[in-house]
Amino acid sequence: MESPQLSSLYQQLILEHYRNPRHKAELDEKTVEVHMANPVCGDEIRLQLRIEGDVITEAKFLGQGCSISQASVSMMTTKLQGARLEEADALARRFTEMMHGDEHAAADALLGDLRSLQGVSKFPVRIKCALLGFEALQEALQDDRDEVTH
Amino acid sequence: MNRAFDPAEMRARFPALEQTVNGSELVYLDSAATSQKPREVLDVIDEYYEQHNANVHRGIHELSRRATDAYEGARSKVARWINAHEDAEVIWTSGTTEAINLVAMAWGLDNVHEGDEILISVLEHHSNIIPWQLLAARRKAKLRYIELDEEGRLALDDLDELLNDRTKIVAISHVSNSLGTINPVKRIAEAAHAAGAIVVVDGAQGAVHTSVDVQDLGVDFYAFSGHKMCGPTGIGVLWGKRELLEEMAPFQGGGEMIDIVGRDESSWAALPHKFEAGTPNIAGAVGMGAAVDFLSDVGIDAIIEHERDLMEYAFERLRSIPGMRIFGPTSLDERSAVISFNLGDAHPHDVSTILDTDGIAIRAGHHCAQLVMKHFGVAATTRASFYLYNTKDDVDRLVEGLERVQEIFG
């Protein structure tokens, strides 16, 4: 049926997260919220975290967009529940490396299901879709750090 | 029509269409964003730079004379294309966007005052919204909107209530870029003039897909771009009525647009050069002139007829796909060569990526018309747009591509 590249892009796991996104709801008692949008394509998410000490006790999101952006953020929030801040930061960095074609990152068990998005790295114009949630996460982590220092 | 229209032969006149993309013959269905260019236009631009290049209206030398003749000759061609009363009413701009901004600033700042109203529509491209928002904010004027009906047509029943003696400007698109809706510009212009407003038309799509006669439309300004009608990027036109252009202050200051320069005050060049500050896009103008020659040779009626054929075929084929939702007017009499649609729960970007792997270029997104997307309650649509070089084979390839989308997202 479709090209091997296309099959690697649209893996079942991605389509499944697109149809049944995890943690897609308003988060009560959030400590940080970041809105991130791609004005070119209209993808957008609102990432909401409750951070207590150095742990993300809960992560949720709201948003709309293509299968890649929405599956990526759905998988990301799954990994974030109960994650320590440094783990969340490492996850964002590792995922970004994978999107930029780093094979070692793509083989890193740390990324879990997120590795199913590796095929996106072969579609340059779609990389930003996969990174949308992680850019929001990095901004949220920065906002949290700013909050603590002030 | 000057000769029988053969779509396959027409396609062969556009070099960019003769290529393979991702292993398949290119199918280009994104002409509403920009059109491809025929060999004739590319040759004229090359020839201009290779043989005649010089600055216009400055030198006494031979090349400057030739460049000036080519530049002004192109203006005449465009003037005839839209049936302007005279060449001097055709102002070269960088495109539709700059042309609309020119009116908003050069006419708007002096004529729109606090409490005045500017009437636009929900259907507009951002280029026909933002300049008016900026003007309204600077002059403390009110921006009002003509709403859309469920088929994406202007809801004109309450036009008379929307217009009043505070309405200074009515700015409307001739043809919608996102839905293809053809607007009854003539009727709107009559009502706007009765209320004392001027009428500015965004003709970026209208100049491409309809036979434009600015005098018959009865509007005051008509803006369009070269690159959507087989010409190069970076060149466009503002056509305006002489009496309005005369009373307007210059848009930008610089060379070319002056008459006599003094220390504190200067006087302006006559139309059209008053609005053409700086060295203009000469090659662009010459290229747009060549595009008009090309289109005149093919004939706008032949183009419209061909697009209508394609649209009938595309409508029939797309409608038969399960899960297909087509936006915009259902009657082909009310729409141009654009089909905006969504397929099941597949996001337009995913549709676009899948089609691209088949060598099919379409547009996915909000099409610079976020208010239209909001009207239909969607964040984005997939848009296939057609032009004179598209064929029924292109439609078949699109349909096959969409079947692949269904296999994946099914």
Q: DSSP states of B119-183 as a string?
A: EEETT--GGGTHHHHHHHHHHT-EEEEE-B-TTS-B--TTHHHH--TTEEEEEEESB-TTT-BBP
Q: How much is the average pLDDT of B131-142?
A: 98
Does A41 reach chain B within 8 Å, measured CB to CB? yes
- Residue B291 CB: number of other CB atoms within 10 A? 28
Is the pLDDT confidence value at A1 over 60?
no
Q: Which residue of A has its CA nearest to B351?
A: A66
The structure tokens listed for B289 are: 């002139």
Q: Are residues A61 and A23 in contact, defined by beta-carbon separation less than 8 angstroms?
A: yes
pLDDT in the model for residue B304? 97
- Cβ separation B373–A42 shorter than 8 A: yes
* H or E element in which residue B90 lies: strand B90-93
Q: How far apart are CA A17 and CA A73, in angstroms?
A: 9
- Cβ separation A2–B350 shorter than 8 A: no
Give catalytic residues of B, as residue numbers.
Answer: 368
pLDDT in the model for residue A150? 66
Instruction: Specify the higher pLDDT residue, A126 or A2.
Output: A126
- Residue B162 CB: number of other CB atoms within 10 A? 20
Residue B119 sits at the vertex; the CA angle it makes with B117 and B120, to the nearest 5 degrees, is 145
Is the pLDDT confidence value at A4 over 90?
no
pLDDT in the model for residue B59? 76
Instruction: Specify the higher pLDDT residue, B16 or B1.
Output: B16
Is the pLDDT confidence value at B174 over 80?
yes
- Cβ separation A68–B350 shorter than 8 A: yes
- Which of B346, B349, B404 is closest, CB to CB, to A41? B349
- Cβ separation A64–B379 shorter than 8 A: yes
**Which amino acid is located at B164 in the chain?**
N
Q: How far apart are CA B142 and CA B155, in angstroms?
A: 20
Residues of B with CB under 8 A from a CB of A: 22-23, 345-350, 353-354, 357, 364-366, 370, 373, 379-380, 404, 407-409
Instruction: Specify the higher pLDDT residue, B233 or B1.
Output: B233
Strand-pair category, B258-261 with B266-268: antiparallel
pLDDT in the model for residue B57? 86
Q: How far apart are CA B236 and CA B357, in angstroms?
A: 33
Report the predicted TM-score, pTM, of the whole model to 2 decimal places: 0.93
pLDDT in the model for residue B3? 61
**Which amino acid is located at B174 in the chain?**
H
**Of the given ranges (A37-51, B218-232, B377-391), which has the lowest mean pLDDT?**
A37-51
Q: How much is the average pLDDT of B258-269?
A: 91
Query: Quick one: what percent of chain B has pLDDT higher than 90?
Result: 94
Q: Is the dihedral of CA B285, B287, B293, B299 positive or negative?
A: negative
Q: Which site among A12, A40, A67, A129 would you substitute to test the B interface, given the most B Cβ atoms closer than 10 Å to its Cβ?
A: A67
- Residue A84 CB: number of other CB atoms within 10 A? 12
- Which of B346, B349, B373 is closest, CB to CB, to A129? B349
**Of the given ranges (A37-51, B199-213, B214-228, B371-385), which has the lowest mean pLDDT?**
A37-51
- Cβ separation A10–B364 shorter than 8 A: no
Q: Are residues A61 and A46 in contact, defined by beta-carbon separation less than 8 angstroms?
A: yes
Cβ under 8 Å to B: A residues 69-98 = none
Shortest distance between the Cα of B378 and any Cα of chain A, in A, equals: 10
- Which of A2, A67, A129 is closest, CB to CB, to B404? A2
Burial class (CB in 10 A: 0-12, 13-18, 19+), B344: middle
- Cβ separation A40–B357 shorter than 8 A: no
pLDDT level of residue A2 (50, 70, 90 thresholds): low
In angstroms, what is the C-alpha Rg of chain A?
Answer: 15
Is the pLDDT confidence value at B173 over 60?
yes
- Which of A64, A67, A125 is closest, CB to CB, to B350? A67
Is the pLDDT confidence value at B1 over 60?
no
Q: Which site among A1, A8, A10 would you substitute to test the B interface, given the most B Cβ atoms closer than 10 Å to its Cβ?
A: A10
- Cβ separation B347–A42 shorter than 8 A: no
Q: Is the dihedral of CA B194, B198, B202, B203 positive or negative?
A: positive
Measured between alpha carbons, how far is residue B328 from residues B103, B122, B174 in Å? 29, 13, 15
- Cβ separation B354–A6 shorter than 8 A: yes
In angstroms, what is the C-alpha Rg of chain B?
Answer: 22
Beta bridge partners of B369: none
- Per the prediction, chain B carries an average pLDDT of 96
Q: Which residue of A has its CA nearest to B24?
A: A3
- Which of B357, B365, B370 is closest, CB to CB, to A3? B357
